[in-house]
Amino acid sequence: MLYLTFAYGALPWIALTLAFSFGLYGLIKKVAPLNSLYGLTLETGILFLPALAYLIYADAAGQGAFLHTGAVPDLLLVGAGAVTTVPLLMFAAGARRIPLSLVGILQYITPTMQFLLGVLVYHEPFDQHRLIGFGIVWLALIIFGVEGFLARRSQPVAAVAD
């Protein structure tokens, strides 16, 4: 982050916000006393009223798509909700079963796939500064992963089972 801050002359606040919010979400999912279904139900309930208010506003402003563009887009919008629910339930269930450090590393997969999609498919700009910043992040992840692997290997078998 320091390299990119100096290279571009501004703090990458969006990246930092995403990193902290993803990390905090993973931590909450790890320590929350609710199982995955109840936890997702609670999250959905918390966001229901603000989301409903926004949808009503968007519809009143003429920007709403649901029930205005035809049956196929409406079915795709409803299906998108169902398709999104399954990975969220699986993440919540999995986050409770693996170490928090692994949850953190796994949360780099989606942004990396989105980055690769942007660069390789949509031809987003990818200059030398971004290459160096991306390389530094992944080098740190590799070092962290190797260190964790070596530390676990050096522990007695009984201690690893805990």
Q: What is the pLDDT of residue 107?
A: 76
pLDDT in tens, 40-85: 899 899 999 999 999 999 999 989 888 888 999 999 999 998 899 9
DSSP codes of every residue in the chain: -HHHHHHHTS--HHHHHHHHHHHHHHHHHHH-SS-HHHHHHHHHHHHHHHHHHHHHHHHHTT---TTTS-HHHHHHHHHHHHHHHHHHHHHHHHHTTS-HHHHHHHTTHHHHHHHHIIIIIS-----HHHHHHHHHHHHHHHHHHHHHHHHHHHS-HHHHH-
This model's pTM is above 0.75 = no
**Residues 9-41: pLDDT tens digits?**
888 888 788 878 877 887 887 788 888 888 889
